[in-house]
Chain A
């Protein structure tokens, strides 16, 4: 290639084109995605997360939980996501518009967390989550640095963990969740894929060719 500036320009143009197509194109399509207003409930979805939950997402991000957990539920005929009770519908772009840094993740060494706060039959309790984060489990690392072990002076703290057995601290000490742990648990329990948007519904079964035309209404 002889022409120097033309070569460099060609390289630059290639990157600009691919960035425009993939990133800018997605941004133009999804950047202005608005909440969906439901007439029946007179409510717009998704709802903005609570302040503590939004801060908890930062804790989730900086601990790198996305290294093992995803937050995206796939559609029913693509994997066992919904059969495992992780969500009642697939995740769509609208679910993430109010998240400062969506942690959709790319690895599932641990379960998906997209709908943790609204799991059926029961979402995990805050106590269970605190215990898991403090002590870990054979398959989950422990995060003891998210907790403080304080001497009990007078009454026990309201935020003290209810631990028993080998994990419990000595009698005169209690384990208290730090603010980071509290916001993280608030975030986890606030995760839900609540509302069923039009675009998240599964495709109708292609019964007849005429029915196929009705595709996504």
Chain B
């Protein structure tokens, strides 16, 4: 059975890629630079955990602000820019037309990054909002919404003007992420910043937003990348793809109901952590479907799939752990400890970032028309970042469980807890070093690949990209 369309199969790199080259490269450059910066800030923050006196003289670098800075740089700097670049690229290719409104993308990118930079300076000088994942000062937040919308328009247009009427999973996820984030952040801003609600409802709203950032923004971007690259590289249709729509809608509908899971036992009515547990349980269905759909990643080869393997395992693990730590019996031992930090690391670094790395590995050669400058650096980055994530998650889990056990014993003082977890926190610092080093390798590799001065960038390198064979749908 042949599924060849009536026109000739397009080459692997087409005008769609060359047309979008510079805007997307700007986004990716910004992303990787923010990744390095957030790595440095995370390193300082990790050192301050076991050595509180480190850089404490400087008001800009005090630990509370450093934690906010590193988190902001990671999510709004690296993850946002990389995710947007990947989403736009995928939507362009699957839409079948060159991306439109790319000028807006460039304008949006510039203002987004300026806004984040201004916001970081604002946090450092004391304007942070104290809401997790929404620490950027009030005055930059409206700018971010408009900048994001400017970038997202191109993607939504690429989807609405697509060639084929039926959209693919990557397109659903990418459009969801592009479309929903402005609403998400505006809703959060309105109840937290512009017309703040009373008392603990702020904490509930902040928890809802933090979960929304993951479930409605970053996870869809990562999944868009996974659903695109994995079948492209393995050459197999995704198994049980007919379940994918249900998996998608489960994430979108149920995802943010789990926002109250950190408020277990807290000063909020009991129904809020309870629906967080119920939401987390329903969300398991989404993770199972993703695991089933994306399992070909384990049989494929190539550098990109290495990242996606790690990312998929981390993704499913993140979902399971989020549910587990929502249960009150488990929360008794893990709440307020480093286990939450470990879970953050698994979700943001292990799942989202690794999938982004995989997508970037696949994307950049096609965008620039050149192979990666150094396969060794590529392999080095992959190995080191996996090592770093594993060590940091392991160390934080050990620290968290130790801390949790000691917190339950009323006779143990906080200096004693500090002594007991110091070693694990030192190991976490070492892991942050490794991650920073890995990302520096990526920066060097990327710079050498994308920004080779003086050499003209080829319009398309037909000898670099083999023409793929036609794949048949699996028997129904």
Contact = CB atoms under 8 A, between A and B. Distances in A.
The answer to whether A and B belong to the same complex is: yes
B414 A11 contact: no
A138 B204 contact: no
B336 interface: yes
Interface in A1-24: 1-2, 4, 7-8, 10-12, 14-15, 17-19, 21-23
Contact of B200 (A4, A93, A141): A93
A32 B197 CA distance: 10
Interface string B331-346: 0100111001100000
B265 interface: yes
A75 B268 CA distance: 12
A49 B179 CA distance: 42
Interface stretch (B100-108, B251-259, B383-391, B447-455): B251-259
Given A19-B187, A23-B201, A64-B130, A136 B336 contact: no
B256 A79 contact: no
Interface residues of B, number: 80
A78 B404 CA distance: 12
B184 interface: yes
Given A95-B267, A139-B414, A141-B56, A78 B332 contact: yes
Given A22-B257, A30-B201, A145-B57, A79 B332 contact: yes
A144 B57 contact: yes
A94 B202 CA distance: 13
A95 to B, nearest CB: 6
Q: Choose among B49, B266, B340 the residue with the greatest number of A CB atoms under 10 Å from its CB.
A: B266
A97 B199 contact: yes
Nearest to B128: A62
Contact of A15 (B67, B175, B187): B187
Interface residues of A, number: 71
Contacts, number: 215
Given A27-B198, A33-B198, A78-B328, 16 more contacts: A19-B256, A21-B275, A23-B197, A27-B201, A63-B62, A79-B265, A80-B407, A104-B200, A106-B340, A109-B49, A138-B415, A141-B52, A142-B52, A142-B57, A145-B57, A145-B59
Interface of A: 1-2, 4, 7-8, 10-12, 14-15, 17-19, 21-23, 26-27, 29-33, 61-68, 70, 72, 74-75, 78-80, 83-84, 90-97, 99-111, 136-145
17 contacts: A8-B179, A14-B249, A15-B183, A15-B216, A19-B208, A21-B257, A22-B259, A26-B204, A30-B199, A31-B198, A64-B67, A84-B410, A90-B267, A96-B199, A103-B130, A104-B203, A104-B266
